[in-house]
A and B are shown apart, each in its own frame.
Chain A
Amino acid sequence: MTVRQWHTPLVEMKDIKVAFGGVHAVDGVSIDLYPGEVVALVGGNGAGKSTLIKTLSGAHPADSGEILIEGHPVTISNPIAAKGLGIETIYQTLALADNIDAPGNVFLGREMRTKIGSLDDSAMEAATREVMGRLNPRFRNFKKAVGWLSGGQRQSVAIARAVHFNARVLIMDEPTAALGPAETAQVGSLIRQLKDEGLGIFLISHDIHDVFDLADRISVMLTGKLVGTVQKQEVTKDQVLGMIIMGKLPGEVSQAELADLHG
């Protein structure tokens, strides 16, 4: 990733802190993301990766810290503000209204309207058909409430919502957790495609294989703190596991400790 040396980062998060009550869910974490790059954010349950990413997606503002988009400091106080900056999020829960059809979900909160201010359902359906043609050409159920659709189709709707609005930054929270092998592969190829188009992608994942498959860099969190960020080519899976479990960087950990990971 030589590009990074002269580009301004797409996203820079500096010293982000979030506390719930007295608990520091995120405690002074700094990460960054460059165009055309996939940064994986990994860590065990409760490590704080979802909370960190929510400060970027606008779902839960940070208590303190700084976020820069292309070098400019920004305030992201709600999801609309994030979307206005070109930051789109695919949530682990997908955040779909199950009783509404695919176009309704893709445009939720950003509906297209006719001259008299009514919902332009036909225009939204046409736009959804277009973006689906690119993402999942086999998708047909444009009129059905998405609650009736399969896991993969629902995932397609959530992704369509994120990419339709010309996102610059994509946050994917466990995008393959609920998917079968074929659908997982499909999401993987989509991530590569979007990366080639110059998007920056934050990938939150439990699956170390997915991470090694898709990411350029890996940021590891443990109990609200950043353990470190490493280049994928420079580490082994065991070393990353060592970071996740013991909070030790590859240089700090002994072979014996790594062997212990496999118990």
Chain B
Amino acid sequence: MTEVVTAPHETVLPPKRTWRSELGALEIDTRLLGMLGALAVIWVGFHILSGGTFLTARNLWNLSVQTAAVAIMASGMVLIIVTRNVDLSVGSMVGVVGMAMALLQAEILPGILGFGHPLIWIITLLAGLLLGTLLGGFQGFIVAYGGVPSFIVTLGGLLVWRGMAWALASGRTIAPMDQTFQLLGGGSRGRIGGPASWAFGVVACLGIVLFLFSERRQRRRFDFPLRPVWAEITLAVIGCVAVLGAISVINSYPMPAALAQQYAAERGIEVPPGGIPLGIAIPVLIALAVALLMTFVATRRRFGRYVFAIGGNPEAAMLGGIKTKRTVMLTFALMGLLVGVGAAVTVARLNAGTSGLGTSTELYVIAAAVIGGTSLAGGLGTISGAVLGALVMQSLISGMVLTGVDAPIQDIVVGIVLVIAVAFDTIFRRRIAR
């Protein structure tokens, strides 16, 4: 900050500015900054180690797609863990819900509606979401009203749902998936293209500005202290630069040559020299929408407030008249709904349903939430943190694949990182507590 003092009679010095006070004025979560720092270290580190293949448009585009399913489910896991529960059945639920969706679109619905019917994908998706919600809600019911610890209920679920995923088709692999349904998984067709991606970026920027503006107006309505205008502008600029920067990276990844030729031929155009950008993948858009919606639910709705109140002090929540059992059950139902979304993305991406679908996904989902700052003691956690946690973990895995690390070693590293991240967080929290 350089300030030009033009008035010579000015005697009162402005309060001394330090980087800490500037951060304070921006009201940015320092935890989130720490995670972004860790992410930057991982990215740059792997970029160097892999000989310059990590920070490429191609790899980052793939990374965004790979992160989507875990990020979607981690958003729900945050709320579960905040209420001092856990859901170990997520991976198996992906298996059974995914398998059900695969059967529905590949074998059952074509028999009724005819192969390639335009309604197949939407019926399949809605059925999957409903099934996930029911399975999750059922487990939540046993936890909340039956008083059985969620660890046990969902450990049982882990076994039961996995067995059912196998039983649904006697272990067969179901393929291929409906053409439209496949778009949910990304792939070379499941993306929105360059111009639409830019349009999305512009809308996101407008959203950021509008959000900051309405927050400020809201605070002015009650005469609360306002952020300095420079801080508002800085936040808006940082947000917009980040969004548009990400879009430009995504858009610099072109379609594969053969696909681009076909695409251009269909429209009677020439392939431009830089290639045709793929644009943002549909699963990434879904993940962003889920994260945004879940953040809204967690921070701006009564339901979210109650979830945190229960996590902070169940007795206080009850004495406040909150229906704690119902709320806990709903967090599990919501988790199930998001498992439905995650399963759809996974099945579509794989273009097949297998009985092993989603195996050990629960561990990645829980790890993403926890790396993202969700406390297993309950009451603390953010959706944005969990999404970043998913990205951190996927970056590690992707980086190790690029640098040729063997799969068993990958597991070892992810395991160690999980423990270190939580240890670090615990110490950090203890220090600010003093």
Contacts and interface: CB of A to CB of B under 8 A. Distances in A.
B222 A126 contact: yes
A122 B224 contact: yes
A253 interface: no
Interface in B138-162: none
Interface stretch (B190-198, B264-272, B311-319): B311-319
B302 A96 contact: no
Interface residues of B, number: 27
B301 interface: yes
Nearest to B311: A99
Max count, chain A CB within 10 A of own CB: residue among B222, B302, B321, B322: B321
Interface in A51-110: 57, 59, 78-80, 83, 89, 91, 93-100, 104-105, 108-110
A108 to B, nearest CB: 4
Contacts, number: 80
A79 B222 CA distance: 31
B308 A100 contact: yes
Contacts of B219: 122
- Among the interface residues A93, A96, A122, which one has the most CB atoms of the partner chain B within 10 A? A122
A95 B224 contact: no
B320 A79 contact: yes
A99 B296 CA distance: 18
Task: Select the residue from B222, B296, B313, B433 with max chain A CB neighbours within 10 A.
Answer: B313
A188 to B, nearest CB: 24
B379 A97 contact: yes
B313 A123 contact: no
Q: Is the interface of B mostly helix, strand, loop or mixed?
A: helix
B319 A100 contact: no
A96 B308 CA distance: 12
A31 to B, nearest CB: 22
A111 B308 CA distance: 14
Given A117-B301, A122-B221, A97 B317 contact: yes
Counting chain B CB atoms within 10 Å of each CB, which of A98, A99, A110 scores highest? Answer: A99
A246 B302 CA distance: 50
Contact of B322 (A96, A99, A109, A119): A109
Contact of A97 (B296, B299, B301, B313): B313
B321 A97 contact: no
A113 interface: yes
A65 B302 CA distance: 35
A89 B221 CA distance: 32
Contacts of B315: 93, 95
Residue of B219, B222, B302, B320 most packed against chain A (CB within 10 A): B320
A105 B224 CA distance: 19
B25 interface: no
A5 interface: no
Nearest to B316: A95
A56 to B, nearest CB: 13
B302 A111 contact: yes
A255 interface: no
A72 B218 CA distance: 43
A80 B321 CA distance: 5
Contact of A79 (B224, B319, B379): B319
A57 B300 CA distance: 29
B120 interface: no
B320 A109 contact: yes
B313 A98 contact: yes
Contact of A122 (B222, B311, B312, B433): B222
A216 interface: no
B321 A109 contact: yes
Central interface residue in A96, A100, A109, by most chain B CB within 10 Å: A109
A210 interface: no
A104 B317 CA distance: 11
Contacts of A148: 433
B380 interface: yes
A119 B305 contact: yes
Contact of B320 (A93, A108, A126, A147): A108
B319 A119 contact: no
A155 to B, nearest CB: 14
A97 B309 contact: yes
Interface in B48-101: none
Given A79-B321, A117-B301, A119-B300, A97 B218 contact: no
A118 interface: yes
Interface in B297-337: 299-302, 305, 308-309, 311-313, 315-322
Nearest to A81: B321
Given A95-B320, A122-B221, A108 B301 contact: no
A134 B151 CA distance: 46
Contacts of B319: 57, 59, 79, 89, 91, 95
Contacts of B379: 97-99
A97 to B, nearest CB: 4
Contacts of B221: 122
Contacts of B321: 78-80, 83, 109-110
Contacts of B317: 97, 108-109
Contacts of B302: 111, 113, 117, 119
Contacts of A57: 319
Interface string B214-252: 000011011010000000000000000000000000000
B309 A108 contact: yes
Interface of B: 218-219, 221-222, 224, 296, 299-302, 305, 308-309, 311-313, 315-322, 379-380, 433
22 contacts: A79-B320, A80-B321, A83-B321, A94-B316, A95-B313, A95-B320, A97-B313, A97-B379, A100-B305, A104-B305, A105-B316, A108-B316, A109-B320, A110-B321, A113-B302, A117-B302, A118-B300, A119-B299, A119-B300, A119-B302, A122-B218, A122-B221
Interface of A: 57, 59, 78-80, 83, 89, 91, 93-100, 104-105, 108-111, 113, 117-119, 122-123, 125-126, 147-148
User: 8 shortest A-B CB distances, which residue pairs?
Assistant: A109-B320, A97-B312, A99-B312, A80-B321, A99-B379, A108-B320, A95-B316, A109-B321
